[in-house]
Structure 1
Amino acid sequence: MKVTVDEATCCGAGQCVLLAPEVFDQREDDGIVVLLDAEPDGDLHPAVREAAHVCPAEAISLTEVNRR
């Protein structure tokens, strides 16, 4: 899985950080998302998918990556 975030779209709700703190953080000054891990381990995928699903600004994009 490849994770990307659109900082310009982010509204700072913070749901992503609550669901997947290993992958997402927020800037202290304005709460905008900070991507900590663009290719998280498989055990984090369910939480990252949920974070993307609940993001009110739809600022998180996921791309499935096939590893060989």
Structure 2
Amino acid sequence: MHIVLDPDLCQAYGNCLLAAPDVFELTEATPVVIVRQANPGEDLRAEVEEAVRSCPVQALTLEHA
């Protein structure tokens, strides 16, 4: 699986960070979420899918290989 972030849509709400803290990061230096693991392992699938669903502006998509 591959995570795609649309930086034009991201509002840095942080819902994805709450759902998958090992995959996403927020810093004061950037106005959008940082995807730390664009290709996370299958062991994180449930958390990543929840992160994608929880984004209120649909800035995240998940591509399946």
State the TM-score, normalized to the length of structure 2: 0.90
Query: Considering only aligned residues, what root-mean-square deviation do their CA atoms show, in Å?
Result: 1.2
SS of the residue 1:51 aligns to: helix
Displacement after TM superposition at 1:31 (Å): 4.7
2:11 is aligned with 1:47: no
In the alignment, which residue of structure 2 is the partner of 1:15? 15
In the alignment, which residue of structure 1 is the partner of 2:63? 63
Displacement after TM superposition at 1:28 (Å): 1.1
In the alignment, which residue of structure 1 is the partner of 2:36? 36
Cα separation, 2, equivalents of 1:32 and 1:40: 19
Equivalenced residue count is 65
SS of the residue 1:47 aligns to: helix
- Aligned sequence identity (%): 35
In the alignment, which residue of structure 2 is the partner of 1:2? 2
- Structure with bigger gyration radius: 1
State the TM-score, normalized to the length of structure 1: 0.86
Unaligned runs of 5+ in 1: none
SS of the residue 1:4 aligns to: strand
Q: Which runs of 4+ in 1 moved over 6 A?
A: none
